[in-house]
Amino acid sequence: MNSDELPTVQSAQDPPAMDDAPVQLETTAETNGNSDVSEATKALLSQRILELQQQEHDLKQEINALMATRADLQTQTMEAQVSLGRFVQQNLSDLEQRRQTLQLAIEQLERRQDRIRNEMRTTFAGASQDIAIRVQSFKDYLVGSLQDLAIAADQLELQKPINPERNAVDALPVPATRTPRNAEKITPSEAPGQKPTPKFAEEKFQDEGRQIRSVIDQFRNQPDYYGPVWKLRRTFEPVHAERVSNWFFSQGGRGAIRTMGSRLQNILIASAAISILYNLYDDRLRTLILANTPERLGEWRRGLQDCLGVTRSDFGSDRGISMFETPEQLALKAERLEKDGFLPFIVIDETEEAVSLALLQFPLWLAFAPSPQQLIQQQSYLY
């Protein structure tokens, strides 16, 4: 502050003084005091400025450190987000794969459940069928045994025998004249001890004709899928009934019929004929199958088991059904059966080109004639 300016300021602010000398002294004192205050203030201000500059420097360093930390955090955040995205994507892929695996497992379990249910139903039906077959077989066995016992009792002589050995021999039942198990199987045209010679086309066998038609009608209208052994167990259509009727009554049980187009259908017709003949002649009937390959004989075996309820024990040289690949062997077997008192029934597969002359001598034979298309195919195979 200048000394020349103080009176002016004082004159402007303070009221006019009475004496100039005292005012001048007071002004000089105040000026010295103000200069001391000014120096102290400057020192304080300088020190304060230095402190503020140091604080500014420190703050800038802290800001730089915070910015660096922020950049690091942003980098870490981005890396964490990328890692999290990869983790989520990988887990989603794993979960999707597990979901697909579970779906496949569920589908497999459902299919297995359906298969088990079908097997249970099939097994139950098969068990029921087996039980029904065994019960019927046991019933037939009991009925046959009782009938044989009754026949043996009727043949016993109650009088005192003169020659015990001779009467004992006479009391034995003769196998050739054994009465069949069912009374309705006895036909008036068959004499005891006489070899059966079926002639279905003749008028004197009207009883057999009525019985055959009755059985065919029963096959058509009342199929028995769980019937006894040797009885047809499949659906019998009118076309099948017509073929079987023509073979019995028009051809007299000896002749060829047109094939049905498949071996299974032919087996069905042959099974119906076997069932009818077994109903007429019982255990005296022997069926002989002729087919030129083991594979076709296997189809005949499975088809007859399915249609007639027979088992493997019914197949064999001394059983109800025999199978041959050549007509010569079949003819020899048929001759031996006739000598033993049996009735051979010959069934010829459609693959046989012609009926052997050795087979025409027998009273019962059924051949399936191939269609013209099959003949052309067979000839093309030969060439």
Can you give the pLDDT at residue 128? 64
Tally Cβ neighbours within 10 Å of residue 127: 10
pLDDT band at 180 (very low <50, low <70, confident <90, very high): very low
Q: Give the least confident one: 79-83, 307-311, 352-356.
A: 352-356
Q: Are 268 and 368 in contact (CB under 8 A)?
A: no
Percent of the chain with pLDDT over 70: 68
Give which of 259, 280, 274, 282 is closest to 212, Cα–Cα.
280
Q: Is residue 31 part of a domain?
A: no
Q: Is residue 348 part of a domain?
A: yes
Q: Is residue 311 part of a domain?
A: yes
CA distance 280 to 138: 20
pLDDT band at 171 (very low <50, low <70, confident <90, very high): very low
CATH code, domain with 315: 3.40.50.300
User: Would you give the DSSP letter of residue 180?
Assistant: P
Can you give the pLDDT at residue 39? 84
Burial of 32-71, coded b for 16+ CB within 10 Å and e otherwise, reads eeeeeeeeeeeeeeeeeeeeeeeeeeeeeeeeeeeeeeee
Q: Is residue 162 part of a domain?
A: no
Q: Is residue 318 part of a domain?
A: yes
For the chain, the maximum distance between any two Cα atoms, rounded to a whole number of angstroms, is 203
Which domain range does residue 324 map to?
A: 198-382
Question: How many domains in the chain?
Answer: 1
pLDDT band at 172 (very low <50, low <70, confident <90, very high): very low
Tokens of 281: 């002649």
Q: Is residue 312 part of a domain?
A: yes
What residues are paired with 288 via a beta bridge?
322, 346
What mean pLDDT comes out for the span 169-184? 38
